[in-house]
Structure 1
Amino acid sequence: MNKPYDFTVFIGRFQPFHTGHLKVVREGLNQADKLILLIGSAWEPRNPRNPWTHQEREEMVRRCLSEAENARLLCLPLMDVPYNDEVWVRNVQSTVNGLVIAHHTVPHRPAKISLIGHRKDQTGFYLSLFPQWSSISIENYHKISATPVREAFFIDEPERVARELVSNDILPQQVADYLIDFSRTHPGFQHIHDEILFIKKYQQAWNTAPYPPVFVTVDSVVIQSGHVLLIERRASPAKGCGHCRADS
């Protein structure tokens, strides 16, 4: 059966991949021969907002799909470009175009491409940034947000939380199993757990302040002899972050 599109494109962070994401992925595969999944916030350091690498998130996705579905799924990482939508759009276009050139199998006909996502959700703003492609808007399933999922998983008992998220149709079972294994075996779990608790405790210490505090972390940039000096942090927040590189 011919599908409406050759490629659908779904862009997201998937921190973690939840049931709402899975609904979009399945619809993307239903609408096109291949689904291009661009995994955002790639190469970010492991932190409370980005606990899992793009490789780990791709594995979560693929665990939820059949062998036949995985054969039609194309995953690539996508770097964030803060405060510059124009550069980000160009990055998306070049990534998608490269995949289309490599995988479009119909000669003498331009590929039919459509973006897919939640238009009513703030994370779906990108659906209007690519007028050259069609767009498919999917209802946000149960209005699931990954943010409370992350917080509950890292603050509370991870195995109990994961099971509850499955029973509430928020996480696929395959993702819950992956997260439970992550909490048992990966040192990154304890790092994120400690970081979140530190931040919450620090913020709570200001609850009695006579004015609403603004929590901002600011670092100085030191340039000497053509080098940028970055000092590794020994304590939370962002413990362990920092490196030194030559300034070009």
Structure 2
Amino acid sequence: MTAAYDTAIYIGRFEPVHNAHLALLRQALASARQVIVVIGSAWQARSPRNPFTWQERADMLRQALPAAERARLQLLPVRDYYDEPVWAQAVRRGVAALTAPGARIALVGHFKDATSNYLRSFPGWALISLPRQGDIDASTLRDAYFGAATAAPASAAADAPSSADLFADPATDPAATLAAVDAALLPWKEHIPPATLAFLRDFAQKPEYAALQHEWRVLRDYRASWAGAPYPPVFVTVDAVLRCQEHVLVIRRAHAPGKGQLAVPGGFIEQKETLWQSCLRELAEETHCALPEAALRAALRQAHVFDHPERSQRGRTITHAHYFDLGNAPFPAVQADDDALQAQWLPIAALAGMEDQFFEDHFHILDRFLQLTDAAELARGM
């Protein structure tokens, strides 16, 4: 039987891989000689929404297929740009590098909800739209997995750990954790490929699992605190991108969510403040940067709104980032405080290799002002 297309594209995050993913993948394999699986959210720091590296997800996909089908698979990691046209262009660029000019290309997918609108971003590719494949999605599996009734990690209010402690949870018994995970996943076992189940059981015995489970609980409780509001709230935050001598000021977060991850200084606005006032206050509270307001006004180069609906797992959060450039002035002294475990000046040239260490979309906030992603792709040989 001749394949209808040269290449079929299947896009997903696969956090983790489940049988509905495999059903769509098999449709792609039946439609074309070659299948390119675009693995989204590549190079994100681990979080309850993106707990697994793209390499771990790629391995789950490969292990779920027989060798003959595995040989027809190409895996293409693509980062979250939090900008759909830019993301779609990156996908097209990656696909073009893996296909011959003039290839007949089809995109296989399922319109689940508004988050599936990306399927319309590829005019020129045939769209194979399929109905829902089974009664499971990855978020349900993640909630079951991280909601397993294991021994509770330390409170979010505990003292900030050293870097060696960021993924430590000595109070958790490995055997008890594995039993709790098995029990939590049992109702969904028929929806989980054996390779995925084996990976999840193995990962649950690593310290990263305990840290992610703690983050999941913090986020669950955070969202529960406003669940009774008449409408889902929209949070407004500010961030300060401070550049000096080709370095940028970053903090390391002291508490969940994003405990131990890098971020730009910032936080929630207060009721009586303007965005500008909140930006200066958060910068001072988290870094003790003592630059006078007049100096910061003179250094302000740009302000930009970041409003992607999925940019924060805490809820719908819109941030206003202020970009300051101090040129070759002396470095202002900084010292971590408040929600920051550490404050430091990092060379801008080093940031491209640190993408997977940044909280939520903070790497992309920096990219907006400092043009980091081209350097990141060069660093990975892409």
TM range (shorter): 0.7 to 0.9
SS in 2 for 1:6: strand
Residue of structure 1 equivalent to 2:107: 115
Which of 240, 260, 263 in structure 2 is aligned with 1:240?
260
Letter in 2 for 1:221: V
Match of residue 213 from structure 2 = 193
Greater displacement, 114-123 / 130-139: 114-123
The reply on whether 1:74 has 2:74 as its aligned counterpart is yes
Aligned to 1:107: none
Question: Is 2:251 the counterpart of 1:231?
Answer: yes
Percent of aligned positions that are identical: 39
Residue of structure 2 equivalent to 1:178:
199
Q: Give the unaligned 5+ runs of structure 2.
A: 149-179, 264-344, 349-369, 371-382
- Out of 105, 119, 128, the residue aligned to residue 120 of structure 2 is 128
Distance 1:183 1:86 in 2: 36
* Larger fraction in strand: 2
Which stretch shows the higher mean deviation, 232-241 or 203-212? 203-212
Work out the number of aligned pairs and report it.
Answer: 237
The 3 A distance-change label for structure 1 pair 162 and 198 is same
Tell me by how many angstroms 1:216 deviates: 6.2
Aligned pair partner of 2:184 in 161, 169, 188: 161
Cα separation, 2, equivalents of 1:28 and 1:145: 19
> Structure 1 residue 141 and structure 2 residue 133: aligned?
yes
Q: Equivalent residue for 1:61?
A: 61
CA spacing shift, 1:18–1:121, aligned 2, 3 Å:
farther
Q: Aligned-pair distance for 1:55?
A: 0.3
Structure 2 residue matching 1:221: 3-state secondary structure: strand
Indicate the residue corresponding to 2:46 in structure 1: 46
1:111-152 CA distance string (max 9 Å, x none): 211000003543432222111111101111124221121011
**SS at 2:26 equivalent:** helix
Q: 1:86 to 1:62 in 2, by over 3 A?
A: same
Following superposition, the deviation at residue 14 of structure 1 comes to 0.7
Question: 1:130 and 1:214, CA in 2 relative to 1: closer, same or farther beyond 3 A?
Answer: closer
Distance in 1 (CA, whole Å) between partners of 2:222 and 2:89 is: 39
Q: What amino acid sits opposite 1:68 in the alignment?
A: A
**What RMSD over aligned residues (CA atoms) do the two structures have, in Å?**
2.4
Aligned counterparts of 2:227 and 2:80: Cα–Cα separation in 1: 33
Structure 1 pair 212/18, CA: closer, same or farther in 2 (3 Å)? Answer: closer
Please identify the structure whose Cα radius of gyration is greater: 2
Change (3 A) 1:155 1:87: same
- Deviation sequence 1:176-213 (CA, Å, 0-9, x none): 111111112x2211111011112223444556889976
Q: Which residue of 1 aligns with 2:5?
A: 5
1:4-49: CA deviations, max 9, x gaps? Answer: 1111000111111111110000110011111100000000000111
**What's 2:92 paired with?**
93
Higher relative contact order (CA 8 A, sep 6+): 1
CA spacing shift, 1:225–1:71, aligned 2, 3 Å: same
In structure 1, how many angstroms separate the alpha carbons of the residues matched to 2:199 and 2:223?
A: 31
